[in-house]
Structure formats: C-alpha cells, structure tokens
Amino acid sequence: MNKTVYITMDMDWANDGVLGDTIALAEELNIPVCFFVTNDTPMLKTLRNHPLFTLGIHPNFLPQMNGQSSKSFRETLAEMKALVPEAKVLRCHALVDATPILVTAKEMGFYADMNLFIPFSSGITLKSFYHFTGLKRLPFFYEDDAWAAETDAPSPESHLTSGGDTLRIFNFHPIHLYLNMEKMERYNRAKPYYHEFEKLGPFVNHGPDMGARDFLTALVKTAKEQDIRFGEVSEIWK
C-alpha cells in the first residue's frame, strides 16, 4: 500500500474569510497543502510565505470557451504565471485539458499538471506518467464536490487503505471546507453570498452527514493511526 498522500486545494476565488479559515484548518491539522491560485488577494502573501504550503496555478479558460473573452489561452497562462512566478504545477479550472495548453505550460517552465480526475470509485490504480510535451501528469482520485455527488460516497478510510499502490492525491475547495459541504445543494444555496463572508455562516453543515471538512479531518486522523504520511506535491513532480 502507498503510505504517502497528498493534499491539494483549488482556491476558486474564495473570499479572504473563507481562505483564512482554510489556512487555519491546515495549520491545525499540520498538513502540507498545494494551493492552486485563481486570483490575487492579500492572502497570497500568507500562502506564499507559509512553510506548509506550495503554490500552483488554476487558470480559467471557461470565458474563452463560452465566447465571453477574446483573450487567448496563452495570455491567460501568462497572466497566471506572472501572478505566481514560482509555480511549477497547474490544474485548470473545470479541468479543461488540451494539448496546446500543456505545450505552452511546459514552455513557460511548468513541471507537471493535475488535470486528470479519476475517482477512487472507478477502482483504477493511478500512477504518474510523462506526457509527450514533457510535463509530468499527476492524476488525482478525490474531489470534494464529485465525492458529494456520489450515491455511495467512499469513506476517508477506504481512500487511504484500499487500492494498493495507487497515487493518492486529494483535492478540496476552501468554500466546501468552510460550508462542510455534503451535497451540492448546500453550496448552491450559499453561492449567491460567495463573496460575503458574514452571510455564509447560516449555510454551514453542522448535521450528522459527513461533509468535506469532516472528510479531511477524518482523513488526517486515520492517516496518523495507520502511519501514513502527508507529502509535499513537489516530491512527485520531480
């Protein structure tokens, strides 16, 4: 069994109150996290200077796909690279994946991408591999919103102890952690107040059903009991 797991988080334009809550949670759990950055924020300095955190980029190509932007994908990548010049890994928003994006990312100095989501419930053993562009592809098997949509959502324990030597990369979102989101309906109700931190409190899940925050907390507890370590993603893109 693979005895190392990796935690990633897509910022997704979370407001600073939500992002601060996520930072505090990661500190409390004492786990390394790779944050995929979507936008500039005063919290970026905190993330950048924190010993537990690594930064990647999370470019959004949906405006181009929806005809809402004339900006090229190269311009979007360049803007994100300028915002996070130290980034060596990317995951595109909505997991948009295309060869020209990967080619350009490699040209810009990226080492790896995490665009490939293959859920744990598929039963497929995941391994990293090199793409013909030269990027290392790092598939991940847990996404908090996808997990919440599964009828029989697998437990944190099964994600850690089943699947043999599968690559164990988990992905969370600050807003889902803050809401302790167990079903997308909860997020959809809170979404109109996404940038109004003081209005999000009433939407937090305090009920018996496991949400994203519960999942992460249980994951860390179980990993410690099973002598499973949390690694930094830079270990696997080299």
Q: What confidence score (pLDDT) does residue 1 get? A: 72
pLDDT of 7-32, one tens digit each? Answer: 999 999 999 999 999 999 999 999 99
Question: How many CA within 13 A on the CB side of residue 15?
Answer: 13
Q: Could you give the CA distance from residue 100 to residue 96 in angstroms, rounded to a whole number?
A: 11
Q: Model-level pTM?
A: 0.97
The residue among 17, 21, 53 whose CA lies nearest residue 36 is 53
Q: What confidence score (pLDDT) does residue 151 get? A: 82
Q: What confidence score (pLDDT) does residue 52 get? A: 98
Q: What confidence score (pLDDT) does residue 164 get? A: 87
CATH number at residue 151: 3.20.20.370
Tokens of 22: 């996520």
The residue among 181, 175, 178 whose CA lies nearest residue 207 is 181
The answer to whether 91 and 67 have CB atoms below 8 angstroms apart is no
Q: For the chain, what is the domain count?
A: 1
Q: Which portions of the chain are predicted below pLDDT 70? A: none
Domain range for 71 is 4-237
> CA end-to-end span of the chain, whole Å?
21
Q: What confidence score (pLDDT) does residue 238 get? A: 82
Q: What confidence score (pLDDT) does residue 153 get? A: 86
